[in-house]
Amino acid sequence: MDFHFSPEEKAFRQDLRAWLKENVPPDWEGVFLEEEEKEWRQGREFVKKLSDKGWVAPSWPKEYGGMEASPALQLVYNEEMGYHRAPIGSVVQAVGYIGPAILAFGTEEQKKQHLPPITAGEIVWCQGFSEPEAGSDLAALQTRAVKDGDDYVINGTKIWTSNAHRSDWCILLARTDPAAPKHKGIGFFLVDMKSPGITVQPIINMANVHSFNQVFLEDVRVPKSGLLGQENQGWFITIMALDFERSTLVAAAISMAKRNLDELIDYCKETKVNGGTLLDNPLVRHKLAEMTIEIEVGKYMVYRVVSLQARQEPGSIEAAVCKLYNTELDVRVANTGIQILGLYGQLQRDSKWAQLMGRFQKSYMYALAMTVGGGSSEIQRNIIAMRGLGLPRR
């Protein structure tokens, strides 16, 4: 594995970094604030600027608005976007794994219909996977899709659907063959969120913001052209899509954790305590050093996955290891910030006493959620144990 970036990749990093410093909104505070209306609008405006540069989905083919970038250049992009806390939440799912799934399994008609609007920053996608009775055990889903002429009629409920209230389209899993084993009889659908029969109900999360939703589907008609891949191929497509999610989105997350840690170190250098600075405390220095080392480990886990992708080699086990380690690392980094900040670390950003914009308090809550989203830590451990180590299911 070559740990060095090419001259082209280094030049792209410098260009992108300079552009981000100039174009990320000056009042942008980062860290999952796009749930709020003002920040959502800022994010959408930013994505349009990104689209004008052709930088929404660098690795995609040029005919769909991409740059045909290598996995390594895409990694550079993900790192810089994460470190600068770029407001790309409205397209992160579409670019991270929905688009790649359409590229891999879609018809030419589906690609032409759905991919250019993503890279143009014109539409928002959401994910309809989890259900009230099927969360981590995703294959236990109960939503049904029944053929009726040239359509599928879908009935069921989805939950924890981020940005469903703002989305134009949804990728949705539904059971197409109830008699088949639970991993076999699933279809992967592309659903217009304006379809009759779809009701979106908000869920307010523990950070007191509306990002999640419950989605009810009652006799929703989806044309056969809305089926991605073959009728019962949905689970296979989902596994591939989640591998993309785990490997691409984690790169941005680890860079965001690095930015949080860098700012925490600067805070410790500047904050006076007991005649010295926080950084003079050996316990603080030890903890900051520990997190610095762990972030470096996480970064090179990402690099390992990218190197496999570049050689078109299987990497689902490595992606699971990467997702498990780095999402749990995000929790440790956020908790370190809260512990070092003391009581200030528990304050929300709207408090006049909040330090570092209350970032660590909110980061901690979201980091916990990220250990569940995209496949929980328990699921990742099962994948590693069974597929990677060959251990029995029980």
Average per-residue pLDDT for the chain: 92
In terms of DSSP bridges, do strands 151-158 and 210-223 run parallel, antiparallel, or are they unpaired?
antiparallel
| Residue 348, SS3 per DSSP | coil
Residues 6+ apart with CB under 8 A from 230: none
Domain of 261, CATH number, reads: 1.20.140.10
Query: Domain residues for 42?
Result: 7-123
∠ CA 262-267-268, nearest 5°, is: 100
Q: What is the DSSP letter of 198?
A: E
Task: Specify whether 376 is located in the same domain as 309.
Answer: yes
pLDDT of the residue at 187: 98
Tokens (6 digits) for 201: 């109900």
Q: Of 115, 135, 3, whose CA–CA distance to 63 is shortest? A: 115
In 10 A of CB 300, how many CB atoms? 14
Distance CA 136, CA 138 (A): 5
Residue of 112 and 135 predicted with greater confidence: 112
Same domain assignment for residues 307 and 268: yes
Q: Confidence class of residue 133 from pLDDT cuts 50, 70 and 90?
A: confident
Residue 393 belongs to a domain: no
Find out whether 368 and 362 touch, Cβ atoms under 8 Å. no
Q: Of the candidates 123, 139, 163, which is a domain's last residue?
A: 123
pLDDT per position as a tens digit, 311-326: 888 888 998 999 999 9
Using the predicted structure, report yes or no on whether residue 168 has a pLDDT greater than 60: yes
245 is catalytic: yes
Residues 282 and 331 in one domain: yes
- Domain total of the chain: 3
Q: Are 294 and 332 in contact (CB under 8 A)?
A: yes
The pLDDT of residue 12: 97
Residue 266 lies in a domain: yes
CB 54 within 8 A of CB 65: yes
Grade residue 240 by pLDDT with cuts at 50, 70 and 90.
confident
Mean pLDDT calculated for residue range 297-324: 89
Chain-centre distance for alpha carbon 162: 11
- Predicted confidence band at 78 (pLDDT cuts at 50, 70, 90)? very high
Residue finishing a domain among 123, 154, 169: 123
Cα–Cα distance, 384 to 376 (Å, whole number): 12
Rounded distance between C-alpha atoms, residue 289 and residue 299, angstroms: 15
- Assign 33 a pLDDT band (cuts: 50, 70, 90): low
Q: Does 235 have pLDDT greater than 70?
A: yes
pLDDT at 362: 85
Q: Which residues pair with 305 in a beta bridge?
A: none
Q: What's the CA angle centered on 9, arms 4 and 91, to 5 degrees?
A: 120
Quick check: is 351 in a domain? Answer: yes
Say what the pLDDT of residue 264 is: 97
Query: For residue 5, what is the DSSP state?
Result: P
Do 290 and 210 belong to one domain? Answer: no
Residue 112 and residue 109: Cα distance in Å, rounded? 5
pLDDT of residue 339 exceeding 60, the answer is yes
Mark whether 240 and 384 lie in a shared domain: yes
Confidence of residue 31 (pLDDT cuts 50, 70, 90): low
What percent of the chain clears pLDDT 70, i.e. is strictly above it? Answer: 96
Q: Which of 35, 79, 245, 294 is catalytic?
A: 245
- Whether 243 and 369 map to the same domain: the answer is yes
In a domain, 87, yes or no: yes
Among residues 218, 206, 222, 230, the alpha carbon closest in space to that of 369 is found at 206
Amino acid letter, residue 284: V
Query: Which H or E element spans position 132?
Result: none
Confidence of residue 123 (pLDDT cuts 50, 70, 90): very high
pLDDT value at 26 more than 80: no
Asked whether residue 154 carries a pLDDT value surpassing 90, the answer given is: yes
The counts of H helices and E strands in the chain are 11, 10
| CB atoms near residue 62 (< 10 Å) | 9
Rounded CA-CA distance 359/366 in Å is 11
The CATH number linked to 28 is 1.10.540.10
Give the C-alpha separation, 167 to 160, whole Å. Answer: 14
Cβ 107 vs Cβ 88: under 8 Å: no
In the numeric block, the tokens 């370190």 are attached to 336
Residue 135 neighbours by CB under 8 Å, 6+ apart: 159, 160, 372, 376
Judged by DSSP in three states, 372 sits in coil
The model's confidence at residue 35, banded by pLDDT at 50, 70 and 90, is low
